[in-house]
Amino acid sequence: MHLTLQQQTPALVVMLYLKLIVVFLVMALAKPAGGAMSLALPGCPDRCGDVPIPYPFGIGAQCAAVSLSSFFNLDCENTSHPLRPTVGGPADVAVNVADISLERGEMRVLIPVSYICFTSSATVSASNNNTVGFGLEDTPFLPSPGRNRFMVIGCNTLGLVGGFRGGTSQYLAGCYSYCDGASGASDDGAPCTGTGCCEASIPTNLTAFNVAFPINSSSVWGFNPCFYAMVAEVGWYRFQRRDLAGELGFINNRAKDGAPVIVNWAVRNGSCLEQRNYACVSANSYCESASNGPGYLCHCSPGYEGNAYLNNGCQDIDECMLREQDPKYEELYPCRNGVCLNTPGGYDCKCKKRTKSDGLSVSAVVIISLACFLAMQLQRKKHRKEKDEYFKQNGGLMLYDEMRSRQVDTVRILTEKEIKIATDNYNEDRVLGCGGHGMVYKGTLDDLREVAIKKSKVIDDDCRDEFVNEIIILSQINHRNIVRLLGCCLDIDVPVLVYEFVSNGTLYEFLHGGPDHNLSPIPLDLRLKIATQSAEALAYLHSSTSRTILHGDVKSANILLDDQRHAKVADFGASALKSMDESEFIMLVQGTLGYLDPESFISHVLTDKSDVYSFGVVLLELLTRKRALQGEEILVP
């Protein structure tokens, strides 16, 4: 049978209309792969120039979370080209913002480069020396130590960066770049290793910094008239020999708007444990502790995207739509030979028609997977409950209260997961040492700092208050010859303490040789320097802190040496409070035979005189290079 044209037309028209309706519905409901959702407060501008402005940031006080910090209020009325938001106050001190990341808790700002230029060895033609810096105290911002470096460009140039850590502790660092001519500098594109340019790391919790040149003279002004110094994002600058030539050539060619600096931002007035006045207001969101300084960040749960700081700001990701729009998502959200169906927080992959057996198999797999998932969730819930209990038992809540009441934020509280990542799950290759007080591992934190992680013995219930108080006291110690306590982990059965890493071994190894027993001559002045620095550290512990701290185990193995052979006293304080299963004698007196004060040995009581006696043995060890205990022979009978 043959249909006429008139008979075909109505059917074709209906089918065409149906197809068009489907297309329009898809286009109306489709969400662009890049995401068109505004991250700003409803009714507020979501960008300034080309820079997106996500809440809690905003243009104007009515659009920003000023209750969390007035510095979330940005300005978009400036003369920068291109137009950028500014943060920090009036236009003469405000800083341009190039990018804001909700996910990483980062903001990229542009800071002017410090420079000094010469027309002769002692004649300065242009300079902004000692005027370039960034004040961050009482703001939600801290420079990222892992994402920035202090950099100096020039030949025979010394640059310094100084400031404050935590608002009170002074900080100073620098680097020296050497080259006797442009041809002696590094090749173009080379990293800054000291010839033509150099770099140095910056610390955590840096609340203010200033960049400067300490010397106002130049012996290389003929081919290198200007020196430059800056804090800049890692990877932003690679050396170019042309940067040495011409007055302000580097700034004019590459840094007119300043150098990019990555600052970490967070909600600083609170923590994830305090759920009052919580900033994570969206459903399907969670809280994460800040990695640099106090406070927390808010994130959308897996399977959701958007802004966790806004009500209903976290929206479901349509994985199926993304698969259709961009082939790269097909690997991220696999559903080969199936029908993709979006679900809240995820998606399902259904079998196509006439593949019933496969569908049954998939259903069985889904049921089994669901059962495993529920079992894992129950296990995780149990594990979280255990971690919360450990945190409370080990004095975590008490420590938070003490830190708030004393306004102490120098101690970082890490999670068990962070400790395991830092130590490669307590890898034996990372063991630095072990003893009666526990194991010590070398670790690397997420900000790339190398640390010493001490896994100690179980804390005594009767000493928990004392243990927390001791952590507060130790965290406030600021002496160049004492190993600093950087943080702790309390959500596991055995508390873990995190100290600064000292790279050059112990005084014991230096005096008596390491495993290979190689002994090199040690100048007398170096021995006396080590003795003086160790004595200053003990004097500080005994008389310069808010409360006397007794070491209890002074010996050459507990005096560490850094790269410049400076002494740093280690393994004191909290270790004396972390014993539960041992006798009273071990609890009160934890010294090492050969160094132990005989009076303390008899009375079982530790005093400052005990430390002085043990240090006297160390002095003899330094002068004679004899071990305190050699076989059955004791250096001090």
The residues carrying an active-site annotation are 553
- Amino acid identity, position 228: Y
- In the beta sheet, which residues pair with residue 108? 99, 262
Count Cβ atoms below 10 Å from residue 409 Cβ, excluding itself. Answer: 17
Is residue 558 within 8 Å of 570, Cβ to Cβ?
A: yes
- CB-count burial class (<10 Å; 0-12, 13-18, 19+) for 96: buried
* Helix/strand/coil for 477: coil
CA 297 centroid distance within chain: 14
Residue 530 φ then ψ, to 5°: -65, -40
CA-to-CA separations, 430 to 423, 426, 453, 506, in angstroms, rounded: 7, 7, 10, 16
SS3 (DSSP) at 206: strand
Is omega for the bond preceding 82 within 30 degrees of 0, making it cis? yes
Angle between helix 464-475 and helix 396-406 axes, rounded to 10 deg: 40
Q: Measure the CA–CA gap between 29 and 323, rounded to whole angstroms.
A: 15
Residues written for the chain: 637
Task: Please compute Rg for the chain using Cα positions.
Answer: 31
**Secondary structure of residue 262 in the 3-state scheme:** strand
User: Tokens 């972390």 identify what position?
Assistant: 578
Strand-pair partners of 200: 150
Kind of pairing between the strands at 95-101 and 314-316: unpaired
Residues 524, 529, 535, 536: what is their CA dihedral angle, to the nearest 10 degrees?
Answer: 160
At 106 the three-state DSSP class reads: strand
User: Which residues on neighbouring strands pair with residue 440, listed in sequence order?
Assistant: 433, 454
CA distance 147 to 261: 8
**Residue 455 assigned as binding residue:** yes
Exposed, middle or buried by CB within 10 Å (0-12, 13-18, 19+), for 272?
A: middle
Which secondary structure element, helix H or strand E, spans residue 557, and what is its range?
Answer: none
Q: What share of the chain is helix, strand, coil (3-state, %, to 5)?
A: 30, 25, 45
Q: Give the sign of the dihedral formed by CA 42, CA 48, CA 53, CA 56.
A: negative
Cα–Cα dist 325/30, whole Å? 9
d(CA 549, CA 471): 12
DSSP 8-class letter at 97? E
| Contact indicator for 200, 173 with CB cutoff of 8 Å | yes
Residue 504's closest CA among 570, 440, 562?
562
Determine which helix (DSSP H) or strand (DSSP E) holds 135, and give its type and residue range: strand 132-135
339 beta partners: 350
Point out the annotated binding site for ATP: 455
Query: Which residue numbers belong to the known binding site?
Result: 455
